[in-house]
Chains A and B, each alone.
Chain A
Amino acid sequence: MAQPPPVSDRLVRTLQWLWLGWAFLLVGGVIIWIVGLILASWRLDDVVQASVGISLVAIPIFIVFMGVVFYVFWGVALHGRKREN
């Protein structure tokens, strides 16, 4: 099997940070969305309890996702590499 051209380490790192940033944006976006809906329902005086109630469950869950992804990124990519070196 012929050796493929080596992949630039720098490029890989940049893309990995972008990958993480993308996850952060998605989860962050969802949280902002939910908060926006709470504000809308409060402004229109339309069953605020439903929005608040659901956000109390949904937002922490999304924050945990983000935490897990960060933890893996840190543990595997950053810390793991440091330890190996």
Chain B
Amino acid sequence: MAPERDDHEDILLAPIERTGPGFYWAVAFLSLLILWGAAAYAVQFTEGLGVTGLHQPVAWGFYVTNFVFFIGISHAGTLISAILRLSKAEWRRPITRMAEVITCMVIFIGAGQILVDLGRPDRMMNVLRHGRYQSPLLWDATSISAYLTASLTYLYLPMIPDIAILRDRLGKRKLLYSVLALGWTGTAYQQKVLNRAIAIMAVLVIPIAISVHSVVSFVFSMTLQPSWHSTIFGPYFVVGAIFSGIAGLIVTMIIFRKAYGLDYYLKPIHFRYLGQLLLIMSLLWFYFTFAEYLTGYYGAEPEEMKVFWSKFTGPFWPFFWAMVLCNFVVPLSCLTRLQRHTVGKVLIASICIIIGMWLERFIIVVPTLSFPRLPFPQGVYAPTWVEWGETAGSLGLFALFYLLFTKFFPIVSIWEIREGREHSLKEVEQRIASYLPGDAGEKV
């Protein structure tokens, strides 16, 4: 039975068919950011890391913060796509593609932050040629490679039917789409193969994603430094990653909903559910943070308390309390009643959370380094234009990659929506009937 063509699908194909002035303005703006970043890095490459604000003892600053932050955002794709797919949450259908693209693009940017941070980037191949697996950085390299491979595969497989639609309906780029569509014709057999492959990847990508951010946290927790050497870091970072990932996804959804007129597909109910997930993650994040700081405070070890007080009342208090405000207070006030003004509330909460989670990474990295155990002469970390530029350029690059993707492939999964319309209603009805007492709805 040939699927009925929905005229609304033209909206989803429009960005690929036509390009308006808005796109060019966006590219121009992003290019400026990227240029700033490129200039910053060029200066750093020639002069050395001295052009940043880093020094002894704060040898890690913005770049490492950005690394953890961007890798954290990448958990958007995994959570929405894989977990919701496995739990058969039907509301995921218009969102999965956007989430998966975020994951793939942002991993590149995240891994790039470490390369920018190296004192000798010309020797980066040493990590491959002479790597030591006792070092958490090698765990990072392996786990991020696995995650990138898994995410790219997990993005590509569900795209195949959509690429086939592009191959058949669009006039241009026929060669590209024909090659990537792998000869998809929508037969039942092909569908079975694809569904099975996607299911395997969905199951696989979740533990890999958890391992990625755990391993990123181990870079800190495997050292002996006060406030870093904590067993909570693995789960804490994973929770924080999922938290910031959902926020990143919501902001992306709202931007493209506006830009491409996707109101028909991205409805308030989707934002409401995501908002509820965000609220849960905010509470979870607060719980972990509370447990971490209570433990430190109660034990009152002198080295830990130095760092503790520097965050609560010392030089880092504005960042720490801004973090609490952005990650807990604002989300709690915005997200508890999402019936009305859903999109607006969820947007405010998400923007705050993105800022708050960046601050959280900063608060983890810098204060511990600022207060060494021995009576070392202390300095204050003050980032320079190079570090700000690199951050802006990274965000710009991520946005540009994402934008370019939407010009080549549909940002909402067309076939999954069709599948939802044609099969899911019946399937869900049967499923719910099977939960109820009696034989009704039992599959024969």
Direct touch of chains A and B (CB < 8 A): yes
Measured CB to CB, the residues of A under 8 A from B are: 1-2, 4, 7, 11-12, 15-16, 19, 26-27, 30, 33-34, 37-38, 40-41, 46-47, 50-51, 53-54, 58, 61-62, 64-65, 68-69, 71-73, 75-77, 79-81, 83-84
Is there an interface contact between B193 and A80, defined as CB atoms closer than 8 Å? Answer: yes
**A36 CA to B153 CA in the complex, in Å?**
25
Residues of B within 8 A of A46 (CB): 132, 134
Is there an interface contact between A11 and B175, defined as CB atoms closer than 8 Å? Answer: yes
Residues of B within 8 A of A62 (CB): 146, 149
Is there an interface contact between B175 and A12, defined as CB atoms closer than 8 Å? Answer: yes
Beyond A30-B145, A54-B139, A62-B146, is A47–B183 a contact (Cβ under 8 Å)?
no
Is there an interface contact between B153 and A71, defined as CB atoms closer than 8 Å? Answer: no
**A75 CA to B182 CA in the complex, in Å?**
10
Which of the residues A1, A33, A81 comes within 8 Å of B183, measured between beta carbons? A81
Is there an interface contact between A61 and B146, defined as CB atoms closer than 8 Å? Answer: yes
Is there an interface contact between A1 and B180, defined as CB atoms closer than 8 Å? Answer: no
**B134 CB to nearest chain A CB (Å):** 4
**A32 CB to nearest chain B CB (Å):** 11
Closest A-B pairs by Cβ, 4 of them: A75-B193, A51-B133, A50-B133, A77-B182
Which of the residues A2, A16, A19, A76 comes within 8 Å of B190, measured between beta carbons? A76
**A12 CA to B184 CA in the complex, in Å?**
13
Say yes or no: is B377 at the interface (Cβ < 8 Å to chain A): no
Beyond A62-B149, A64-B204, A68-B201, is A7–B178 a contact (Cβ under 8 Å)?
yes
Q: Is the interface of B mostly helix, strand, loop or mixed?
A: helix
Interface residues on B, range: 35 or more
Residues of A within 8 A of B208 (CB): 61
Is there an interface contact between A80 and B149, defined as CB atoms closer than 8 Å? Answer: no
Is there an interface contact between B133 and A41, defined as CB atoms closer than 8 Å? Answer: yes
**B182 CB to nearest chain A CB (Å):** 4
**A68 CA to B202 CA in the complex, in Å?**
12
Closest to A72 in B: B197
5 CB-based A-B contacts, threshold 8 Å: A33-B128, A37-B138, A51-B133, A76-B183, A76-B193
Max count, chain A CB within 10 A of own CB: residue among B139, B146, B174, B183: B183
Interface residues of B in 208-244 (CB under 8 A from A): 208
Is there an interface contact between B132 and A41, defined as CB atoms closer than 8 Å? Answer: yes
Is there an interface contact between A76 and B182, defined as CB atoms closer than 8 Å? Answer: yes
**A72 CA to B181 CA in the complex, in Å?**
11
**A64 CB to nearest chain B CB (Å):** 6
Please report the number of residue pairs spanning A and B whose Cβ atoms sit closer than 8 angstroms.
Answer: 109
**A46 CA to B134 CA in the complex, in Å?**
8
Which of the residues A7, A51, A71, A84 comes within 8 Å of B174, measured between beta carbons? A7
Which of the residues B131, B184, B200 comes within 8 Å of A76, measured between beta carbons? B184
Max count, chain A CB within 10 A of own CB: residue among B189, B192, B204: B189
Residues of A within 8 A of B175 (CB): 7, 11-12, 15
Which of the residues A1, A19, A68 comes within 8 Å of B179, measured between beta carbons? A19
**B234 CB to nearest chain A CB (Å):** 16
**A83 CA to B184 CA in the complex, in Å?**
12
Is there an interface contact between B130 and A40, defined as CB atoms closer than 8 Å? Answer: yes
Say yes or no: is B111 at the interface (Cβ < 8 Å to chain A): no
Closest to B173 in A: A4
Closest to B172 in A: A4
Is there an interface contact between A71 and B193, defined as CB atoms closer than 8 Å? Answer: yes
**A80 CA to B185 CA in the complex, in Å?**
8
Which of the residues B131, B133, B182, B185 comes within 8 Å of A72, measured between beta carbons? B182
**A83 CA to B138 CA in the complex, in Å?**
45
**A71 CA to B150 CA in the complex, in Å?**
15
Max count, chain A CB within 10 A of own CB: residue among B131, B178, B182: B182
Is there an interface contact between B194 and A72, defined as CB atoms closer than 8 Å? Answer: yes
Is there an interface contact between A68 and B197, defined as CB atoms closer than 8 Å? Answer: yes
Say yes or no: is B187 at the interface (Cβ < 8 Å to chain A): yes
Residues of B within 8 A of A83 (CB): 187, 189
**A7 CA to B174 CA in the complex, in Å?**
7
Is there an interface contact between A84 and B187, defined as CB atoms closer than 8 Å? Answer: yes
Closest to B192 in A: A75
**B369 CB to nearest chain A CB (Å):** 25
Beyond A2-B171, A84-B187, is A15–B182 a contact (Cβ under 8 Å)?
no
Is there an interface contact between B179 and A54, defined as CB atoms closer than 8 Å? Answer: no
**B190 CB to nearest chain A CB (Å):** 4
**A69 CA to B200 CA in the complex, in Å?**
11
Residues of A within 8 A of B182 (CB): 16, 72-73, 76-77
